[in-house]
Amino acid sequence: MSGYVKTGRELVLAGCLAALLAGCGSPDTEPVGAADTVASTNDADIIVVGAGLAGLSAAIDAASGGARVLVIDMNSVFGGHGIQSGGVAFINSTMQEELGYEDDPAVAYADWMEWTVDGHAQWNRFYVENSREMLWDWLTGLGVRFDRIRPSHGNSVPRFHMTHRRGLNLTRPIFLEALRYSNIDFRWNAVADHLTKDGDRVVGVEGLDYRTGSRFALRGETVILATGGFQSNIDMVRANWRDDLPAPGPVYSMSGQNSRGSGHRMAEEAGAALVNLDRQYNGYTIVPDMFGLDEARGYYGGNARSIWVNSAGERFVTELGIDRYVFDAVMRQQPEGHWSIYDFDDKDGFRLNGPHFVSADAVDHEKIQRLAVENPDITQKADTLAELAALIGVPPDSLEATVAHYNALVANGESTDVDGLPPEDTPPVFTIDTPPYYATKLYPMANKSAGGVSIDMRTHALDASGTPVPGLYAAGEITGSAGMNGLNGLDGMFTGPSILTGRVAGRTAAAELAEIAGWEPVEFTRRGADWDMTRPADSSWTPALGPADVQNMLADSRDGYWHFERVHNLVLERGYGCTNCHSERVPFYTALSREDKAMQTQICETCHLAPAGTLPGADVQRTPARVSN
Ligand SMILES: Cc1cc2nc3c(=O)[nH]c(=O)nc-3n(C[C@H](O)[C@H](O)[C@H](O)COP(=O)(O)OP(=O)(O)OC[C@H]3O[C@@H](n4cnc5c(N)ncnc54)[C@H](O)[C@@H]3O)c2cc1C
Ligand code: HEC
Ligand code: HEC
């Protein structure tokens, strides 16, 4: 390839650029998506709402069963929440065998039923018995790689397998597999807001196409809801706060961008029951967004070399204790909250992590100091503890006494446990005696749903009496991981169950189509060979657009463009050249063809892979005290 030749693509581009600024209609080159029209015949047999781990897995299994599948997502990109995930729980993986960890479904089942207290027994049994074949073998067969296995709570044998450089490498192979099926279509930037019924049966969805601004109605035979959890909907989080805890002060979200409970609402309207919505895995060492991106969002922030005090200026929990106990203790301090107290010597221990820290940022300690520690919106600082206490509104005498007592314990080499519960990690030895002193207020955070749409073992959405709502299935975090986590979350038991329940939903929905009069499986092809992912060298292509164009496009925020806007704000901020990511093969327009979409998956890694060398074990993951994944 040489020079800048006007190809069909660039003509599309030229037409699209103006449209991009105005809200671009889909250029129709080899489209993957369904037509824009409201069809009178079925648009598909099965409509899957959500292209996260659950929806993509469901689509693949449904397509293998001969169903015509249409996946819609309100995002412009695949992957959902899972793109930022860390790992997956497997029992009897070949990696466990290689590392000499002897595991067994019966042992795993006993471990999990004990830890989760009331985890869903049948689903847990199904998981432990099928994670090898339906998850490990399947995923590794698709090319997913794992780096290591982390020991984690509730497991007598290590089972939390860490994805090679994080979740992009879990979601991408699944997405690429879905692209291979001729009977799976996608429609992006389409937000569903209503399920349609034919008699009793759910047969389709209605919603809004963000890009065109027009409503759409899609008709199928069945719908699989895979819209994720609801923890980015803080009103819903508060409305379902645990009864035995005080109502919280501010709560920040660190959940999926689109985890707003829209699927829950649609399911409920269609007659499905929602269960255990108060089972939410929430975090407790959160600092508010300091980027001005979204005031509802927060970031993991905290200092392992600090003590925590409540509004009385007293310690109330062993800071590095086991998540579930620390969580409850922290939540009992609501609504006043708690502060992390440290001194000048230990301020470098502050860590920050979260969605905006998608890349090397999480290990850029100088930046973290500037953003969190030396930022008066987040952290107060004073030369004496008494002044610090006054700044944060706790009794000065009490804070002084608390710190003096703590320093004395350290000096005498005594245990610093507050509640008799030993810390989870060996705490670093530090004292708080070098001014200036710092206080960072930490907040609760809403993260994951462990309750949701009620389903049976075949993922039928159930009504309050336990009867399936005809035509409706649900999979993934919208079902609260099928209740597998019970009262206490297990690591890797959101990603794994999302894929597993997704696959069950896809299989079941396809198999049950056979009960519909006249339904026949379609002929389909599965693309065998891998995509040719070679990208032409930068020099072979002259970009048609530059930073100024992007600046223009970013001037006004538009619905449906949030990811595009986040990406390109970062591009401008970091001064990346356009050809770092775009090329003749990854052009400047919404990738629509299968080939384009496959190629585009390569450019996600600039931001969504953990930087090489920082994992495993690097302290990018060592933000203290996060609730289990
Ligand atoms: C930072 C982070 C780390 C995590 N780490 C782990 C981990 O290590 N292990 C683990 O087990 N779990 C982890 N999780 C949780 C796990 O990633 C999720 O539970 C899981 O990916 C959920 O998958 P899902 O397909 O059910 O939903 P999602 O991934 O939330 O996908 C839902 C999709 O539906 C779309 N959507 C939503 N509403 C609509 C609508 N109305 N119309 C159209 N589209 C809609 C969304 O855009 C999204 O693409 C982590 C999560 C985060 C955020
Ligand atoms: C770090 C990688 C990266 C760089 C550098 C980059 N982009 Fe992008 N670009 C993307 C991704 C990813 C998408 C798809 C985003 C989405 O759909 O959310 C995209 C999509 C686009 C689109 C299509 C918008 C749409 O969805 O309709 C345009 C136009 C674009 N980029 C222009 C540019 C220009 C101009 C530059 C140089 C100033 C640039 N990009 C630099 C990653 C990048
Ligand atoms: C230039 C950096 C950049 C690139 C390149 C990029 N992203 Fe993102 N992406 C982000 C940021 C930043 C966020 C988090 C936004 C937030 O919540 O603050 C994000 C969020 C997401 C989310 C939402 C996750 C959730 O929990 O809801 C998905 C899905 C996603 N990206 C997919 C992709 C895919 C697929 C690609 C490649 C086609 C891609 N991204 C390329 C920066 C990038």
24 has pLDDT over 80: no
pLDDT at residue 573 in the model: 86
pLDDT at residue 355 in the model: 63
Overall average pLDDT of the 110-118 stretch:
96
620, 353 Cβ separation under 8 angstroms: yes
Q: pLDDT band at residue 65, thresholds of 50, 70 and 90?
A: very high
pLDDT at residue 612 in the model: 57
The pairing of beta strand 280-288 with beta strand 298-303: antiparallel
133 has pLDDT over 70: yes
**Cis amide prior to 436 (ω within 30 degrees):** yes
In the chain, % of residues over pLDDT 70 = 89
272 has pLDDT over 50: yes
pLDDT at residue 11 in the model: 31
Distance 500 CA to ligand 3 centre (A): 24
Minimal CA–CA distance to 266: which of 123, 517, 474? 474
Q: How many CB atoms lie within 10 A of CB 404?
A: 13
pLDDT at residue 259 in the model: 95
pLDDT at residue 356 in the model: 61
Q: What are phi and psi of 620, to 5 degrees?
A: -60, -25
Distance 356 CA to ligand 2 centre (A): 17
How many angstroms separate the CA atoms of 188 and 33, rounded? 7
Distance 52 CA to ligand 1 centre (A): 6
Dump strand ranges (E) for 23-103.
Answer: 46-49, 69-72, 87-89
- For the chain, give the mean pLDDT: 88
Domains of the chain from N-terminus onward: 8-30+531-589 (no CATH), 46-278+450-513 (3.50.50.60), 280-446 (3.90.700.10)
Whose C-alpha lies nearest to ligand 3, atom 24?
A: 81
Distance 493 CA to ligand 2 centre (A): 33
Which DSSP letter does residue 83 get? G
Which ligand approaches the C-alpha of residue 545 most closely?
Answer: 2
Whose C-alpha lies nearest to ligand 3, atom 12?
A: 356
**Ligand 2 within 6 A of CB of 606:** yes
Strand ranges of the sheet holding 69-72, from the earlier edge strand across to the other edge: 184-187, 69-72, 46-49, 222-225, 468-474, 460-462
**Cis amide prior to 616 (ω within 30 degrees):** yes
Overall average pLDDT of the 411-416 stretch:
93
Rounded to 5°, the CA angle 274-280-285 comes to 160
pLDDT at residue 306 in the model: 97
pLDDT at residue 391 in the model: 98
**Ligand 2 within 6 A of CB of 571:** yes
How many angstroms separate the CA atoms of 386 and 587, rounded? 59
pLDDT at residue 512 in the model: 98
Minimal CA–CA distance to 91: which of 106, 105, 107? 105
Q: What is the CA radius of gyration of the chain?
A: 25
Cα–Cα distances in angstroms (integers) from residue 87 to residues 63, 168, 266, 320, in the given order = 26, 11, 30, 22
| Coil/strand/helix, residue 316 | coil
Q: pLDDT band at residue 359, thresholds of 50, 70 and 90?
A: low
Q: pLDDT band at residue 426, thresholds of 50, 70 and 90?
A: confident
Q: pLDDT band at residue 288, thresholds of 50, 70 and 90?
A: very high
| Coil/strand/helix, residue 437 | strand
Q: Which two tokens stand for residue 432?
A: 């708080």
Distance 443 CA to ligand 2 centre (A): 34
Q: Ligand 1 — pocket residues by CB below 6 A?
A: 49-55, 72-75, 80-82, 84-87, 191-192, 226-228, 255-256, 258-259, 262-263, 448, 476-477, 492-496, 498, 629
Overall average pLDDT of the 475-504 stretch:
97
Dump strand ranges (E) for 12-166.
Answer: 46-49, 69-72, 87-89, 146-150, 160-163
One DSSP character per residue, 185-249 reads EEE-SEEEEEEEEETTEEEEEEEEETTT--EEEEE-SEEEE-----TT-HHHHHHT--TTSPPPS
